[in-house]
Amino acid sequence: MQMNGLVGGFYKISEWIMKLAYVNLLWILFTLVGLIVFGFFPATTAMLAVIRKLIMGETDIPVFKTFLTSYKKEFKISNLIGIIMFVVGYILYFDLSIVREANGLIRLIYFPLLMIFFGYVLTSFYFFPVIVHYETKIFQAIKNSFIIMILHPLSTIMMVIGIVAIYFLMITIPGLIPIFCGSIPAFVIMWSALLAFSKIEKKQEVIPLQK
């Protein structure tokens, strides 16, 4: 019985590894299909959609079909949110760089601006999980992402720790980068986000969120 349990556990782990590697390959390919600029965000959304289903126990889903369906369905909204993310992030980073090099009273806003930028980065972790999990409009998705980040710091901290750990793992073992560079961070982000979503659905903290 113990041997069967070990074999069964090893099989499940191997199955997860293979599926994460496959999803990562699809993510890279469909990013290239969209000429990188227009493919990255839809491919990321599709990757999260597949991983969400796997985490929720739907392990028998057709991975390619699920990925392709989500890629097509969320192509427009994911690119719009991606553009908004990039523009806002660039503006904040640009302002932060200017203030950091400035002299005088303007330097006083450096740390408040740094906190705003940090909060924006943390909020961005929830953008695409929210798109995948809920049917919301663009600005509602952005608003809900911010609310979730504020109300569920534990999930946010788990995301940060997980991403930092993955970063050090990847630079330690560079051979993992082409195989898992997207799917493993996506797994950590989606798993942490689902913990927050489950609490929201139980307590109904964010009323506008609907499946």
Domain ranges of the chain: 2-203
Q: 119: closest CA among 139, 88, 149, 141?
A: 149
Distance CA 15, CA 21 (A): 10
What pLDDT digit, counting tens, does each position of 32-61 carry?
Answer: 998 888 999 999 999 999 999 999 988 889
Six-digit token string for 151:
């109300």
Per-residue model confidence as pLDDT tens digits over 16-31: 999 999 999 999 999 9
Sign of the C-alpha dihedral, residues 46, 48, 49, 50?
A: positive
DSSP alpha helix (H) spans, 56-182? 63-73, 75-101, 110-133, 138-151, 153-172, 177-180
**pLDDT at 8 (0 to 100):** 66
